[in-house]
Structure 1
Amino acid sequence: MRQAKYRKILWVILLAELALLHLGVGVRLYVLRWEYPQVRRLILLFPIWAVGTLLLGLWQLGSYQRFRRKAIAAIATVEEGWIHSACEQAASEVGLLRVPPLYQSAAVTTPMLLGFLTPVMLIPDTRYSFGELRMVFLHECTHAKKRDLWYKLIFTVGSCIFWFQPAVWLLKNAALQDVEVACDQSVAVGRSEAERDAYAKFLLDSLRRGREKNKAYSAYFYNSKAVMRARLRVVTREQEPGFLAGAAAFLLLTAELVVCIGLLGVSIRRDVREEAYQQEAAVNQYLGYDAPDSFTDTAVAAMTGLTPVDGENYYNWRMNAMEQYPETEWADMTETVDGPWQLRVKTRASYLDAVSDFVYRYIMYYEDPERGSAYNPEESSGYNTLETIDRTLLAGDADEYVCRLLFRDIVWADESTADSLPVEGERYGENGTEYRYYNWAVHVKRVGEYTYELVGVAETEAVTAAFAEAYPEEAETAFISLATLDLRQQDRCRAATQDGVTRVTWDDGANWTEVPVSMEKLTARGDQMDGQLSGAQEKSYVVSDEVTAFAYGGSMEVPVAVTFTHDKGNNWKTITVTNEAVSVRRLFLNFPDAEHGFLIFTGDRTMHQEGSSVYRTEDGGENWFEVKPEQGYSADGGHSLLTGAAFVTDQAGFVTGGDGCYQTTDGGLNWKQLTVRVPAVEYAESYTVYYPPERQGDKLVLYLGMEEYSELGGTKLRYESEDLGQSWSYTGVVYRK
């Protein structure tokens, strides 16, 4: 490797190795290991790399274009025939078949080759002797023959792409030096001592005259002082120049290669082991084992043979179980487990923990036996996709029990729309993801010291009904706090704000129409809320096929107004409701039908009190008039902060807040407080928050919760009315979503 021409090959190999190394690591990190969050965060470095590469590349390209234009602008024809003869003779000596066109340019300070596809020879406007020009042309023609311009360009591009890698800059320096040294070695080979001395003298004179910074887009005769010294040592045969930069780059890349190969090897070995495990797990462990008795009358009957628990939830059960079974009592991991319907628990106090694992195994029995066979909760292998919403002990004890599991599972994009399970889950879309909701009772029995077996599965409603029939005396209190699933029917029409523009859709998102109200107006409020809203305020707009309307304003600059359309956005109209409200906090807009609408807005807040106004339209929003209540929802016109308001007909409406719930049956003229009986459920005293009733079919549904701002979510008491809220019947505890 003492010859520079061999080292040139080495530097290219090392650059290719560096590129392949980074490409391999990138593929490994960003593709094969994309499921790990810590790897996903590395993608944040991509914009930094891209910007650096782009800026460096543009700088190199701009430098080339500027120099090229400058050199061509000052170009002139070489008139002297002896100069052309010297160039042709040099090209013949080095074996260059096509002699580069020769020109003179006042913009260059050193002889050079310029251009990649059709290079030209440029010499400065300087006097040279025939011998000097012969040496110059020998050097530059050798560059042209070996296509060194392309060689230098490769390393410049590599430094732009891998600008963050110190080794590539060391490689580039070593490669550009060896390009010149290898060229001089080719020129000097076979020359006499006198010719070598003359060449060395000319190089030394060139070094005294000045130096030019080497570029990737040209081959200069003059180089930096370090390169010129290396060339002198080669020509005079004093010694082969060292290549410390190249050696450092070689060592860095070798060390990096060893480390990365080691890491990738460990990762590949882990993948091979995981693949082997998965292949082993791919053996269907369900073979020879039928599913437990499920969703049959016999399964329900087996469950009702146990003593019911009086509404004891999982938290209370957990506390009692931990007192009964100390945490120091850990499972004997050598205990035999027979088949997929048996599982071990860590402690006797955690016997209910096996329920969700059993249910997941049960679902996979029908949908993906290989995936279910690979699931092992003890080793945390496999992945349980079930999301438990509620887990409540219905009957039994630590030896045999029935547990209610309310849960949901993701419906994957490639999954068939038809459930493969014996019962179909209730499907519900949420934030772009579709779920299946289930409400099952799971029968489990202990068959070892720490081993439990799945005995059966049934619908929770069927099991609780069977318990009520078997234990009529306890029917009024048993499971009274057991929440049932109550999924809110989502509206097909909706509005969305993106990039400062609010749009509406009437075809479930297939097409969107912009609302002609600026974001400044739509979010303007007088109650120190400017800047707090990023779009239309919740419940301040209505989107339906008959009427779409947005209420906004209520500040010194923006009056309370309604912008509406009755023809799905073909024509919009804006009506000012009032100019007098300048400290509005909330707006509640309702259109029970296309003609009748109500706007309730609150303002003048003081601590936790505020006032409100009710406006009504009877012509679809063209005209609004204030409704002056004869009997309001407070004695002095003030009330606690309103959390909701809704009119379900042109006469019946409700408002909710800290004062409870008030209803009107005459369009807002008279209001009376609405109260319902709270049953003797667990935490009954906490159910104090009313939410505006909703119309569901031909009924009104009222929910009582524990928090003001969790209308859609959590446990609620549910009531129904068939007479527009005149009377209410309690239907049970529900889990809203």
Structure 2
Amino acid sequence: MRQAKYRKILWVLLLTELILLHGLVLLRLYVLRWDYPFLWRPGLIAGIWLGVSSLLGLWQIFSYQNFRREAVRAMVPLEESWIRSACSQAAAEVECEKIPPLYRSSAVTTPLVLGFADPVMLIPDREYSFAELRMVFLHECTHVKQRDLWYKLLFTAGQCLFWFQPAVWLLKNAAYRDVEIACDQRVTEGKGESERGAYAQFLIDSLRRGRDRSQAYSAYFYNSSSIMKARLQVVTREREPGWSAGAAAFLLLTGEAVLCALLSGGQIRRDVQENAYRQEASVNLYLGYEAPEGFTETAVAAMADLEPAGADSYSDWAQQKSDAYPDTAYEDMTDTAEGPWQLRITSKARYLDSRDFAWRYLMYFEDQEQGSTYDPETGMGYNGLEVTDETLLAGDAEEYVCRVLFREIADGGEQETSGVLPEGTVIRVKGTDYRYYDWALHVKALSDHVYELVGVADTGAALEALKTAHPEEDYSFVVLADLKSEESEPAELPPVPMEELTARGDEMDGALSGPQEKSYVSSDEIQAYAYGGSLTVPVKVTCSTDQGKHWYTTVVSGDDTAVRRLFLSFPDGQQGFLFATGWRTMWQEGSLLYHTEDGGASWTRVEPETWYGTDGAHSLMTGGAFVTDQVGFVTIRSSQWPELYRTVDGGRNWSLVELPIPDTEEASWYTMAYPPEQRDGKLYLYLGMEEYSELGGTKLRFESEDLGESWSYTGMVYRR
């Protein structure tokens, strides 16, 4: 391979191999699959990798911009016709169709080509002979024709991306050298000894006076001393320079490829073994075994026979039980589990893990083949259930009842339950549909390390049976599930520019990326959006009464220019209410109320006679909504006690609602009220501990059957 132009192709092929090696093999083995524990966490590895690559890339960009700015500032067009003629002759000789513009610049010390899309040629501010310039132009026009600047940029980008790989540094050095050598070979090809000698002499002169170092963003006539010597050897035909750097890179990449092949082979063997295990387990593990008593009165009655377990947390209780057995007890165990409903505990970490039983029971009705592949001792075959809560309801380590609240991703199809398994509750969370289950599992010990599932029931039914059997026991520690799909932005937005939908006068809480939560209503009768409240966008409401076919917009107020939140509610298709809050000072703000009687076509301001808060000033409002054309509620942010205000005359008078909060220390932590929700003829009110988690975590729940005139406490619930 005496011709450097062929070696240039080889270096590109090796760089491509390096990219594929890391992108398809190493990334999969070390970062995505995470099968090799001698490396740190994949997120940390990726962060360091991309962080250093970004710094190197930014440094290259800064260097280019800095050099380009200095060179352009000092350059002037060349006026000498004989210089332009020498350039034209050189371009024609090397068949370069696009002759770069010529400039003289005092900021450079050697001739060079600068720029990628539209390159220019710069020569230093010194005197050259016609013969010298001809050689310079032959060399630089060859660079332009071969697009060598892009070639060098490719290796610089590879160096920034794979900075940790020694082979890429070797490849870059070899490529940079062969770019110049290939250019010299093309220039001197077919030339006589005298011309080659003159070209060599000019290289020697450039070597003596050159100082600049070759960069990715330019093609210099002068390079580093080592490259200039290699070029001189080629021009004088003394010998072809060695390519030790490229050879070293080739050997390094070859060795790395062999290593990756061995690692991949190991991974493939593990995949084959796991697949073989799954095929072996495809023999239905459930055949010959009936499901435990589930969701029947018999299952519930068996649970109620156990003694209450108290309010100890399930995790603490399980830890106490597992600590009773030393590690050697698990290593030397001889117990065996038979069938799908028995599980053997193999470590402290897996002691009394009710998730395993829930998965096996669920798969019995949904997918027996998949359930059969699950081996709790190795974890193979387990697709996973996300457990939200585990609570010990009754019993002890010999026999116990555990409440398990868990979820799985809903596939969107109809659930196959065989008439036994109750349908889970499908809830949308951050754009994903989950199916939630709330079960009570009855588990009995067969030996020190083998447990069996003997019954399953709905948690609510099991809890009621335990309360009846043990009326003296306080079961308030059991947090029931109260599931509701998150409120999300309707798919059909009004024909309003996004900059108007996201405009508001008070942006202390951050800029909006879409319609504000609770600032829109979507029902069968009306779709409506409230927005604005800034110096540029007045408070507006855009409505549609025909499911988005036609829209109309009304300006509610042009004077409210410091709005923080908008709360919109339509009890029916005609009566609507809009709260506008803002004009914030520290944690205090004011609010206004507007009312429509014609489906949002016109709005009037409601002047209250008695306010919530103090004469219209209050802490930050967390919600405002009307459930009828007369009855509405406002909730105010508070850390002392729940501030819930109610009106029965369309917002003209407000009164503070007193709630029957349990007299316990735990209940005193719940001071944040959210506007009541209306379902099935009842109002449901929730108290939380912070403003921004209305549909997450535990809450105190209250119910009202008289539109909020009176409330009853119904317990602590888990919301999603």
TM-score, length of structure 1 as denominator length: 0.69
Name the CA shift for 1:479/1:126 in 2 (closer, same or farther; >3 Å).
Answer: closer
The aligned residue for residue 229 of structure 2 is: 226
The aligned residue for residue 110 of structure 2 is: none
The aligned residue for residue 576 of structure 2 is: 597
Structure with larger Rg = 1
The aligned residue for residue 503 of structure 1 is: none
Name the CA shift for 1:402/1:285 in 2 (closer, same or farther; >3 Å).
Answer: farther
- Aligned counterpart in structure 2 of residue 726 of structure 1, from 690, 709, 713: 709
The aligned residue for residue 275 of structure 1 is: 272
Measure the CA separation in 2 of the matches of 1:35 and 1:573: 56
Aligned pairs for 1:133-144 within 5 A: none
> C-alpha displacement at 1:53, in angstroms?
12
The aligned residue for residue 395 of structure 1 is: 394
SS of 2:249's equivalent in the other structure is: helix
SS of 2:676's equivalent in the other structure is: strand
- Aligned counterpart in structure 2 of residue 548 of structure 1, from 528, 533, 539: 528
AA in 2 matched with 1:721: S
> C-alpha displacement at 1:34, in angstroms?
4.2
The aligned residue for residue 542 of structure 2 is: 564
- Aligned counterpart in structure 1 of residue 86 of structure 2, from 95, 106, 129: 106
The aligned residue for residue 705 of structure 1 is: 688
> C-alpha displacement at 1:517, in angstroms?
7.7
> C-alpha displacement at 1:200, in angstroms?
7.1
AA in 1 matched with 2:541: T
Measure the CA separation in 2 of the matches of 1:673 and 1:442: 43
> C-alpha displacement at 1:156, in angstroms?
6.1
AA in 2 matched with 1:702: L
Q: Which moved more, 1:291-300 or 1:686-695?
A: 291-300
Name the CA shift for 1:114/1:47 in 2 (closer, same or farther; >3 Å).
Answer: farther
The aligned residue for residue 676 of structure 2 is: 693
The aligned residue for residue 192 of structure 1 is: none
> C-alpha displacement at 1:433, in angstroms?
0.8
1:625 and 2:609 are equivalent in the alignment: no
> C-alpha displacement at 1:649, in angstroms?
0.7
> C-alpha displacement at 1:462, in angstroms?
3.3
Name the CA shift for 1:397/1:283 in 2 (closer, same or farther; >3 Å).
Answer: same
The aligned residue for residue 418 of structure 1 is: 415
AA in 2 matched with 1:230: Q
Measure the CA separation in 2 of the matches of 1:442 and 1:655: 41
Name the CA shift for 1:403/1:179 in 2 (closer, same or farther; >3 Å).
Answer: same
Aligned pairs for 1:48-447 within 5 A: 106-107=86-87, 114-115=94-95, 159=155, 162=158, 164=160, 165-173=168-176, 175=178, 226-227=229-230, 229-231=232-234, 234=237, 240-243=239-242, 246-284=243-281, 287-289=284-286, 290=289, 292-297=291-296, 300-301=299-300, 303-304=302-303, 306-309=305-308, 312-313=310-311, 315=313, 317-319=314-316, 322=319, 326=323, 329-330=326-327, 331-335=329-333, 336-339=335-338, 340-345=340-345, 351-352=351-352, 354-367=353-366, 372=371, 375-376=374-375, 378-379=377-378, 384-412=383-411, 416-419=413-416, 422-447=421-446
The answer as to whether partners of 1:699 and 1:722 remain within 8 angstroms in 2 is yes
AA in 2 matched with 1:484: L
Name the CA shift for 1:10/1:512 in 2 (closer, same or farther; >3 Å).
Answer: same
CA deviation profile, 1:174-194 (whole Å, cap 9, x unmatched): 545775898999979xxxxxx
Name the CA shift for 1:583/1:434 in 2 (closer, same or farther; >3 Å).
Answer: closer
AA in 2 matched with 1:389: T
AA in 2 matched with 1:396: G
> C-alpha displacement at 1:695, in angstroms?
1.6
Aligned length: 631
Measure the CA separation in 2 of the matches of 1:593 and 1:303: 49
AA in 1 matched with 2:403: R
1:515 and 2:496 are equivalent in the alignment: yes
Name the CA shift for 1:155/1:304 in 2 (closer, same or farther; >3 Å).
Answer: closer
The answer as to whether partners of 1:306 and 1:396 remain within 8 angstroms in 2 is no
Query: Structure 1: where are the runs of 5+ without partners?
Result: 58-69, 76-103, 118-124, 128-135, 189-194, 496-507
The aligned residue for residue 505 of structure 2 is: 524
Name the CA shift for 1:113/1:338 in 2 (closer, same or farther; >3 Å).
Answer: farther
AA in 2 matched with 1:571: Y
AA in 2 matched with 1:447: L
AA in 2 matched with 1:645: G
The answer as to whether partners of 2:152 and 2:176 remain within 8 angstroms in 1 is no
The aligned residue for residue 80 of structure 1 is: none
CA deviation profile, 1:439-497 (whole Å, cap 9, x unmatched): 1111222223233233332222333344455x1xx247554443332222556xx64xx
AA in 2 matched with 1:240: R
Name the CA shift for 1:640/1:157 in 2 (closer, same or farther; >3 Å).
Answer: closer
Measure the CA separation in 2 of the matches of 1:313 and 1:267: 51
AA in 1 matched with 2:682: K
AA in 1 matched with 2:330: D
The answer as to whether partners of 2:405 and 2:437 remain within 8 angstroms in 1 is yes
Name the CA shift for 1:278/1:206 in 2 (closer, same or farther; >3 Å).
Answer: same
- Aligned counterpart in structure 1 of residue 479 of structure 2, from 483, 496, 502: 483
SS of 1:436's equivalent in the other structure is: strand
Measure the CA separation in 1 of the matches of 2:616 and 2:189: 102
CA deviation profile, 1:340-386 (whole Å, cap 9, x unmatched): 4333446779744x101222233345545565455455555565521
SS of 1:452's equivalent in the other structure is: strand
The aligned residue for residue 698 of structure 2 is: 715
> C-alpha displacement at 1:13, in angstroms?
4.3
Name the CA shift for 1:226/1:635 in 2 (closer, same or farther; >3 Å).
Answer: closer
- Aligned counterpart in structure 1 of residue 25 of structure 2, from 22, 25, 28: 28
Measure the CA separation in 1 of the matches of 2:349 and 2:665: 23
Measure the CA separation in 1 of the matches of 2:184 and 2:508: 73
The answer as to whether partners of 1:481 and 1:681 remain within 8 angstroms in 2 is no
Measure the CA separation in 2 of the matches of 1:50 and 1:365: 55
SS of 1:650's equivalent in the other structure is: coil
> C-alpha displacement at 1:650, in angstroms?
0.8
The aligned residue for residue 4 of structure 1 is: 2
Measure the CA separation in 2 of the matches of 1:590 and 1:600: 9
The answer as to whether partners of 2:337 and 2:344 remain within 8 angstroms in 1 is no
Calculate percent identity across the aligned residue pairs. Answer: 33
> C-alpha displacement at 1:19, in angstroms?
1.9
> C-alpha displacement at 1:524, in angstroms?
0.4
CA deviation profile, 1:269-326 (whole Å, cap 9, x unmatched): 133223323322442277354354142537615732642426x4562x5445655664
Name the CA shift for 1:298/1:643 in 2 (closer, same or farther; >3 Å).
Answer: closer
AA in 2 matched with 1:718: R
The aligned residue for residue 163 of structure 2 is: none
The aligned residue for residue 91 of structure 1 is: none
Measure the CA separation in 1 of the matches of 2:522 and 2:461: 39
Aligned pairs for 1:570-649 within 5 A: 570-576=551-557, 579=559, 585-602=564-581, 611-621=590-600, 622-629=602-609, 631-633=610-612, 639-649=618-628
Query: Structure 2: where are the runs of 5+ without partners?
Result: 35-41, 65-76, 98-128, 161-167
> C-alpha displacement at 1:404, in angstroms?
0.8
AA in 2 matched with 1:257: T
Q: Which moved more, 1:659-668 or 1:150-159?
A: 150-159
Measure the CA separation in 1 of the matches of 2:158 and 2:622: 57
Measure the CA separation in 2 of the matches of 1:210 and 1:112: 24
Name the CA shift for 1:477/1:385 in 2 (closer, same or farther; >3 Å).
Answer: same
In angstroms, what is the RMSD of aligned CA positions?
A: 5.2
Measure the CA separation in 1 of the matches of 2:582 and 2:63: 58
The answer as to whether partners of 2:505 and 2:564 remain within 8 angstroms in 1 is no
SS of 2:358's equivalent in the other structure is: helix
Aligned pairs for 1:489-504 within 5 A: 489=485, 495=489
